[in-house]
């Protein structure tokens, strides 16, 4: 564990634990790059003992294993996440990933288009809610100086 970064819980053999830690470390780095180090630190600090294993799973599997794969760039993964989160109606995660998409080079217009695309397949109410969430997230980024315009 370095730089205050939490370590994955060691519940298996040394080789398996090393592999899990490597995935965790890769995931922690990618997650910090995409969502911002403050968001990741807040997620870990606020995680209860009950929620900490879910944070580990998200970091290892979601961010380390999937986001760490070479087949898609981060920009494309961000656009896919936006559409899926709109379709699922997951507003809290959508706001996080809108900001992450901007960090990954996705433009406001592309965010808008991804939401509109999702709304045709997932339903207009989902698209309308996604638009409201994205607009708030983009406004927050502008106020923080992370987005021009």
CA-closest candidate to residue 95, choices 105, 86, 106, 108: 86
User: Do residues 32 and 79 both lie within one domain?
Assistant: no
User: Do residues 88 and 134 both lie within one domain?
Assistant: yes
User: Do residues 28 and 48 both lie within one domain?
Assistant: yes
Q: How many helices (H) and strands (E) does the chain have?
A: 7, 0
Higher per-residue pLDDT: 99 or 148? 99
The pLDDT assigned to 10 comes to: 61
Q: How far apart are CA 120 and CA 118, in angstroms?
A: 5
Q: Which two tokens stand for residue 130?
A: 């996604």
The pLDDT assigned to 118 comes to: 98
3-state SS string for 95-124: HHHHHHHHHCCCCHHHHHHHHHHHHHHHCH
Q: How far apart are CA 101 and CA 111, in angstroms?
A: 8
In this model, does residue 7 exceed pLDDT 90? Answer: no
Identify the three-state secondary structure at position 131: helix
Q: Which of 66, 98, 126 is the last residue of a domain?
A: 66
pTM of the model: 0.86
pLDDT in tens, 10-48: 666 778 999 999 999 999 999 999 999 999 999 999 999
Q: How confident is the model at residue 9 (pLDDT cuts 50, 70, 90)?
A: low
User: In the predicted model, what is the mean pLDDT of the chain?
Assistant: 93
User: Do residues 78 and 41 both lie within one domain?
Assistant: no
Q: How far apart are CA 131 and CA 14, in angstroms?
A: 46
């Amino acid at each position: 564990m370095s730089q205050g970064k939490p370590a994955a819980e060691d519940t298996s053999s040394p080789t398996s634990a090393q592999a899990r830690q490597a995935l965790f470390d890769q995931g922690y780095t990618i997650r910090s790059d995409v969502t911002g180090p403050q968001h990741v630190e807040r997620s870990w600090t606020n995680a209860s003992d009950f929620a900490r294993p879910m944070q580990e799973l998200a970091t290892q599997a979601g961010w380390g294993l999937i986001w760490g794969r070479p087949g898609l760039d981060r920009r494309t993964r961000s656009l896919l996440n936006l559409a899926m989160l709109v379709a699922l109606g997951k507003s809290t995660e959508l706001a996080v990933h809108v900001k992450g998409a901007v960090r990954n080079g996705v433009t406001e217009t592309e965010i808008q288009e991804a939401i509109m695309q999702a709304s045709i397949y997932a339903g207009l109410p989902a698209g309308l809610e996604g638009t409201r969430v994205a607009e708030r997230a983009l406004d927050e980024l502008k106020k923080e100086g992370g987005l021009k315009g």
